[in-house]
Chains A and B, each alone.
Chain A
Amino acid sequence: MPTADGPLTADALRLDGRAALDEVAATLPELVFKRLRKRGAIVAVSGGIDSSVAAALCVHALGAERVLALLLPESESSGETLDLSNLLVEHLGIESVVEDITPILSAAGCYRRRDKAIQTVVPEFTSEWKAKLVLPSVLASDRLPVFSIVVESPAGERTQARLTADAYRAVVAATNFKQRTRKMLEYYHADRLDWAVMGTPNRLEYDQGFFVKGGDGLADVKPIAHLYKTQVYQLAEELGIPEEIRSRPPTTDTYSLPQSQEEFYFSVPYQVLDLCLYAHNNGVPAAAVADAAGLGAEDVERVFHDIGAKRRATSYLHEAPLLLEPVPEIGHKGEA
Chain B
Amino acid sequence: MAETTAIETEVRRFITDNFPLGGSGADLAGSDSLLEVGVIDSVGVLELIEHLESTYDFQIPDADVLPENLDSIDAIAGYVARRLDAGAGSNADG
Taking Cβ atoms with an 8 Å cutoff, the residues of A that contact B are 135-136, 142-147, 162-165, 168-169, 309, 312-313
Contact of A144 among B38, B47, B50, B67 (CB under 8 A): B67
Whether the Cβ atoms of B43 and A168 lie closer than 8 Å is yes
A residues within 8 A CB of B77?
none
A-B contact pairs, 12 of them (CB 8 A): A142-B66, A144-B42, A144-B65, A146-B42, A146-B65, A147-B42, A147-B43, A164-B46, A165-B50, A309-B41, A309-B42, A313-B42
Known interface pairs A144-B70, A312-B38, A313-B41. Does A165 touch B65 (Cβ–Cβ under 8 Å)? no
* Interface presence of B84 (CB below 8 A): no
B residues 1-58 touching A (CB-CB < 8 Å): 35, 38, 41-47, 49-50
CA of A169 to CA of B41, assembled, Å: 13
CA of A42 to CA of B90, assembled, Å: 60
Q: Which of A135, A143, A165 has the most CB of B within 10 A?
A: A165
B residues 47-94 touching A (CB-CB < 8 Å): 47, 49-50, 62-63, 65-68, 70-71
Contact of A162 among B35, B38, B46, B66 (CB under 8 A): B46
Taking Cβ atoms with an 8 Å cutoff, the residues of B that contact A are 35, 38, 41-47, 49-50, 62-63, 65-68, 70-71
A residues within 8 A CB of B67?
142, 144
Given contacts A162-B46, A165-B44, 18 further A-B contacts (CB under 8 A): A142-B66, A142-B67, A143-B63, A143-B65, A144-B45, A144-B70, A145-B42, A146-B46, A146-B49, A147-B42, A147-B43, A164-B46, A165-B43, A165-B46, A168-B43, A309-B35, A312-B38, A313-B42
Q: Report A239 CB to chain B, min CB distance, Å.
A: 36
Q: Which of B46, B63, B67 has the most CB of A within 10 A?
A: B46
Whether the Cβ atoms of A144 and B43 lie closer than 8 Å is no
B residues within 8 A CB of A168?
43, 46
Contact of A163 among B41, B46, B62, B71 (CB under 8 A): B46
Which applies to chain B's interface (DSSP): helix, strand, loop or mixed?
helix
A residues within 8 A CB of B70?
144
Q: Report A221 CB to chain B, min CB distance, Å.
A: 30
A residues within 8 A CB of B43?
147, 165, 168-169
B residues within 8 A CB of A144?
35, 42, 45, 65-67, 70-71
A residues within 8 A CB of B45?
144-146
- Whose C-beta in chain B lies nearest to the C-beta of A314? B41
- Whose C-beta in chain B lies nearest to the C-beta of A163? B46
- Whose C-beta in chain A lies nearest to the C-beta of B49? A146
B residues within 8 A CB of A143?
62-63, 65-66
A residues within 8 A CB of B66?
142-144
B residues within 8 A CB of A312?
38, 41
CA of A164 to CA of B60, assembled, Å: 13
A residues within 8 A CB of B63?
143
B residues within 8 A CB of A169?
43
- Whose C-beta in chain A lies nearest to the C-beta of B50? A164
Q: Report B15 CB to chain A, min CB distance, Å.
A: 14
A residues within 8 A CB of B50?
164-165
Q: Report A303 CB to chain B, min CB distance, Å.
A: 15
Q: Which 5 A-B pairs have the closest CB atoms?
A: A165-B46, A313-B41, A165-B47, A145-B42, A144-B65
